Homo-oligomer: A and B are copies of this chain.
Amino acid sequence: MTTSPLLVRYAAVRARSLALAAPLSAEDCGAQSMPDASPTKWHLAHTTWFFETFVLQAHEPGFAPFDPAFRVLFNSYYNGVGDRHPRAQRGLLTRPSLADVLAYRASVDQRMARLLPAVAQDAAICTLVELGLQHEQQHQELILTDIKHLLFCNPLRPAYHTGTEGADVSAVPGVPGSCGVSGAADTAAALVWHAFDGGLIDMGHAGDGFAFDNEGPRHRVFVQPFALASRLVSNGEYVDFVEGGGYLDPSLWLAEGWDWRASLGLTQPLYWPRVDGGWSEFTLRGLQPLHAALPVVHLSYYEADAYARWAGARLPTEAEWEHAAAHALEQAERESPCLAADGMGVAPPQPATTHALSAFFGVAWQWTQSSYAPYPGFRVAEGAVGEYNGKFMVNQYVLRGGSCATPPGHERVTYRNFFPATARWQFAGIRLARDPD
């Protein structure tokens, strides 16, 4: 019997979740720092619940649930599946234990391993399994952003991992150094503006590869001429904004952003505590001196928008970003065909190069000015899986690209990430755009 390629992929993705949890204790895995963030244990269980509920329950002969109570405990937001545990109380679920959840994972993995070879020819099931894997990859990023927030709430400022750069890449697969502090150059490359003619373009996903439903249908849009910055805004540039009074000038802020900022008394990014009079940054490696050349991350939409206005620029639209990223990708493939085979052309975690558009992927999510809305012709899928994306299309803003915490291979040029304008705990940064002179 041959091994199913999907099963190989299944095993690899599932293993990576465990690897991400490996540096953490059971105590670390159980705590929830805010309603927006979930415990690692919950992520491990919920991703498993997805496979059990949507794949095994429908297709496994003689299906019996691992534990009927898990159906409620680990449902995130699927009304179609029934009741669910209140989101803000996920940190109170000390039972099942982490060990129990690991046993749950093992059981579902074992059953999936039996099922997958038998259904390898069933496209619908394979699509569903792939959706589950992509879903798990999304939660892998959340494991990192959520544990970072939890650890930051601890006055001890503990590190998620402490190895040297080389060491930790092997120790924690998929957590590149840029999520901590890299050995990057001291200064960022000069920011260069790349001009685009715009016009009638096509955007959104089409074709055979996997994409989430919200990435399609591929459709035509008309884009005005625009220019895009060659790289992301750096920490050093953002320090200039902060120290130049950017957080205290209402003319730079959206009215709602200003009220939000003022009510919380915010004067700097979330993870930038002052230490001994200097700027520090809390990272997955613990507290570090702020590295001026690296891209600024963990900004809300409001902060990104205010910075852009201060810089005489603006945030790009989704269409602008996708158009430029597709262009850069094509160019890269021409120059280096093997990059295409490598998947997404992930930029290495380094300060921007000077000669070209860089850092579309693998560094930081990039706020766009586009509200998260359905593409023309978008339809939600039938059944509970249809609750995946469509019902969140209000009062959120789209981020494009991918961050240092995004699993390798998970990015796509059509990928649409989305968060409320207040969200600060994601690896979200700024790529500037502007209208032609």
Binding site for B on A (CB under 8 A): 25-31, 33, 69, 72-73, 77, 79-80, 85, 89, 91-98, 150-151, 153-156, 158, 200, 219-222, 224, 250-251, 253-258, 301-302, 305, 314, 369-371, 373-374, 376-377, 387, 391-395, 421, 435
B92-A31 in contact (CB<8A): yes
Q: Residue of B at shortest CB range from A225? A: B376
Query: Majority SS of interface residues in chain A?
Result: mixed
Contacts A150-B94, A155-B72, A394-B257 given; does A250 touch B25 at CB 8 Å: no
Q: How many copies does the complex hold?
A: 4
- Residues in B whose Cβ lies below 8 Å from that of A254: 391-394
Q: Least Cβ distance of A406 to chain B in Å?
A: 23
CA distance A30 to B40 in the complex (A): 14
CA distance A26 to B99 in the complex (A): 12
Contacts A222-B200, A256-B394 given; does A156 touch B77 at CB 8 Å: no
What are 24 contact pairs spanning A and B, CB under 8 A?
A25-B94, A25-B97, A27-B30, A27-B94, A27-B98, A30-B30, A31-B94, A33-B92, A73-B156, A92-B150, A93-B154, A94-B154, A95-B158, A96-B156, A219-B224, A222-B222, A254-B394, A255-B391, A255-B392, A256-B392, A256-B395, A370-B373, A394-B421, A395-B395
A251-B79 in contact (CB<8A): yes
B156-A377 in contact (CB<8A): no
CA distance A254 to B376 in the complex (A): 17
CA distance A298 to B33 in the complex (A): 28
- Residues in B whose Cβ lies below 8 Å from that of A28: 94-95
- Residues in B whose Cβ lies below 8 Å from that of A373: 369-371
A391-B253 in contact (CB<8A): yes
Taking each of A80, A95, A258, A393, which has the highest tally of chain B beta carbons within 10 Å of its own beta carbon? A95
Q: Least Cβ distance of A14 to chain B in Å?
A: 22
- Residues in B whose Cβ lies below 8 Å from that of A391: 253-255, 258
- Residues in B whose Cβ lies below 8 Å from that of A220: 222, 224
CA distance A210 to B301 in the complex (A): 32
